[in-house]
Amino acid sequence: MTKIALLDYGMGNLHSVAKALEYVGADVVVTNQPQQIESADKLLFPGVGAMHDCMLGMHEAGIDDVVRNAIFNKPVMAICVGMQALFEYSEENSQNADGTPCLGLLKGQVKKFDPNWIDEQGNRIKVPHMGWNTISGMDTAHPLWQGVDEHTHFYFVHSYYCQPEDNRIVSARCDYGVEFCASVIKDNLFATQFHPEKSHKAGLQLLKNFVEWDI
């Protein structure tokens, strides 16, 4: 059975992610202990809340470097704020003009939705982006997207979106006043802006694909 370290750094939402992973066949350990993270087969990096608190929680737990190292030696999945934390910096909770520094594992930045943008129905968008939306552009032949149809609905809750420098890592897109990056895949790293654990059958399929991902 695949052992997954579910990263606990004080950002919540761990129970629903853990139950979803167990449902699709994973052995889950919720932890912030470097030894347990290093010994696990895979790492899942969830996130609910503010970027400043996310980075502070990892730093105080002493696991920011552990996460950086894990990226290079095992499959890693990141969700929502976890995905945003992979980039260089975020406009959220900025203490200075440069924003909140993040892990810097992916080139790019995290930008805020503009409430003046217009959605596909001609209305101003609501911020945060909350609820169900379709994604598109994924490579359904990739093992991580197996069994997930084009234009499947997933559940989003976020006010900020990722803007990678390299569009080649974007594995799915979503439209909410602007077309934004909904998922990235780079080598052994997989990240989603939406919440698979809240996305019913399609989300469980995606988590199952990650549990079974052999790279």
Q: Which amino acid is at 76?
A: V
Provide the total of helices (H) and of strands (E) in the chain, helices listed first.
6, 13
For residue 163, the tally of other CB atoms under 10 A from its CB is: 15
C-beta atoms surrounding 134 within 10 Å: 14
Does the annotation count 102 as an active-site position? no
- Report the relative pairing of strands 153-158 and 160-164 from DSSP bridges: unpaired
Q: Among 80, 102, 162, 174, which one carries the catalytic annotation?
A: 80
Q: Please tell me which residue in 60, 91, 195, 212 is annotated as part of the active site.
A: 195
Q: Which residues contact 73 (CB under 8 A, 6 or more apart)?
A: none
Give the separation between CA 62 and CA 9, rounded to whole angstroms.
10
Whole-number Å distance between alpha carbons of 112 and 110:
7
**Coil, strand or helix: which one is 43?**
strand
For residue 22, indicate whether it is catalytic: no
* Annotation says 142 is catalytic: no
Catalytic annotation, pick one of 92, 151, 197, 212? 197
Specify which residues 124 forms β-bridges with. 118
Catalytic positions, please? 80, 195, 197
